[in-house]
Amino acid sequence: MLIGCDYGMPEVEIDYGLCISCKTCISTCPMGVYGESGGKVSVESPQECIACMGCVGACPVGAITVTE
């Protein structure tokens, strides 16, 4: 689904090969980008990301990549 402009929105990715489901990213993100379903942390609202990089620094295993 493509709506309107598609530039300026950061991409948020979790490397599930590294993620230990500690949920730190959920509590760290000021924009509520992360959520949880079935015990697995997921990127639910990437359009809200302001690329503050808080989650990238907070993740203990370096599983998060935010690309502006």
Tell which phi-psi region holds residue 3, choosing left (phi > 0), alpha (psi between -120 and 50) or beta: beta
| Residue 47 interacts with ligand SF4 (CB under 6 A): yes or no | no
Residue from 20, 35, 47, 68 touching ligand SF4 (CB under 6 A): that is 20
Site for ligand SF4 contains 9 (CB under 6 A):
no
40 contacts ligand SF4 (rule: CB under 6 A): no
* Cβ pair 14, 41 in contact under 8 A: yes
Q: How far apart are CA 9 and CA 2, in angstroms?
A: 13
Binding site for ligand SF4 (CB under 6 A): 12, 14, 19-25, 28-29, 31, 33, 41, 49-55, 59-61, 63-64, 66
